[in-house]
Structure 1
């Protein structure tokens, strides 16, 4: 159980829910953004003192039933509910990020010759990639290991190969990193959070917002020096064990972006 993160997360979500959304009258003297602590406790069926201690990071470990009641009261999404259960100690936190990419994932990369693809870990480090990805963004192997990281690219690294909507992609990546529930128990995640919090005010702002959103499909618009503008659907697929994910870039058949990918195959 991570008491500090549980308290901060509850507070941030309480401030997001309006009285009207919770079925309550706003009143004329309301100064608190969102719901009051007393209102959350009432709606969740727990004592005010108990809820206050949870927000202050000094309460006992809540039961799954209490967390479920709080999730309903605070109108959490599915990803946010999973995160609440994890930081509340009701789901195990996996910190075993194996540095080795599974052999089956490497074989799959070799077979993917029409779509750019790569394997990343929970920190968004690029661990493996195919020739089409090299044709799309350049060769990651030409960069030092520390620079093969999407978060560092989005929050202070080289902008040369980043998509046009990198600001929104940065928000999504931070929300995904938070949703993984590995912070602060995983040393690798903790290090990159501390590094980017110190070096990037935008990252620090997004991290403090505690957005929770597991990334599954995102859209990227990129401008390639040889084939021009490309709109790509980015599919993010979890691989069994180790926290690795396979990312595929595709474009709809018959579109100019698909034709651009076909041209990239010549470079690959």
Structure 2
């Protein structure tokens, strides 16, 4: 912050500034001041909000016993807690541009260090269509957002399946569902997956949970002990609450 105030050092990108604002848990006014200090204009109206507000971060912190993530309207993974890292893998080791659930679905490659969602062909087709429909709705809400345009262009160039759904798919909406996570160490874990929409910032809080006393709840309890050690078998620090 001192270097920013004194105008020393290279000018950070808007992505770095947004990450710094999240890490410092700044409110909207303080975030805008940070952008001004760095010589960059703050996020404009009509753009996808990538700033995780302190109140949403507090919610993430309080749900420390359940895997929880915060997604932007573009499906960018903005923040996650330690349990989300233990269940799915630490998103901080994934390049920032690839921290997007739609990008991962259509362009991502399997990584043995990360969990995957087990789905039948029918389930895969249904959720793929829902994912594209959700991004199409975001593009309609944010026609001037360059990040949305870039993401859609990259997906259409790189994935014939996405391009086909983008051209021919209809509307769709995500619903509460149960997901079976194929964990590299614990095997399949079937969990409830709820999406909580934060209206004023158009973000989604994704929470995985299990019925108390169930085998799945026992698996989650074990994950709290394992943390992210399963990634390479070493004594790793559990993933940080906020994406870097």
* TM-score of Structure 1 vs Structure 2, range by shorter chain: 0.5 to 0.7
Deviation at 1:115, TM superposition (A): 0.9
1:130 equivalent among 81, 86, 90: 81
Structure 2: state its 5+ residue gaps: 1-44, 228-244
- Summarize the Cα distance change of 1:219–1:121 in structure 2 as closer, same or farther, 3 Å threshold: same
What are the superposed Cα offsets for residues 123-148 of structure 1, whole Å, 9 maximum, x if unpaired? 11100000000001111011111111
Deviation at 1:183, TM superposition (A): 5.9
CA contact (8 A) 1:221 1:231 kept: yes
CA contact (8 A) 2:48 2:142 kept: no
Deviation at 1:245, TM superposition (A): 1.1
TM-score (norm: length of structure 1):
0.60
Q: What's the C-alpha RMSD, in Å, of the aligned pairs?
A: 1.9
Q: SS at 1:159's partner residue?
A: coil
What is the distance in 2 between the residues matched to 1:195 and 1:108? Answer: 33
2:102 equivalent among 151, 159, 168: 151
Matched, 1:244 2:207: no
Which of 1 and 2 has higher RCO (CA within 8 Å, sep 6+)? 2
Deviation at 1:236, TM superposition (A): 0.9
Bigger shift: residues 219-228 or 163-172: 163-172
Runs of 4+ in structure 1 over 3 Å off: none
Partner residue of 2:31?
Answer: none
Partner residue of 2:53?
Answer: 102
Correspondence list, 1:218-233, <5 A:
218-233=177-192
CA contact (8 A) 1:154 1:162 kept: no
Matched, 1:164 2:118: yes
CA contact (8 A) 1:182 1:189 kept: no
What is the distance in 1 between the residues matched to 2:226 and 2:218? Answer: 13
Partner residue of 1:139?
Answer: 90
Matched, 1:266 2:225: yes
Number of equivalent positions? 175
Partner residue of 1:177?
Answer: 135
What is the distance in 1 between the residues matched to 2:197 and 2:191? Answer: 19
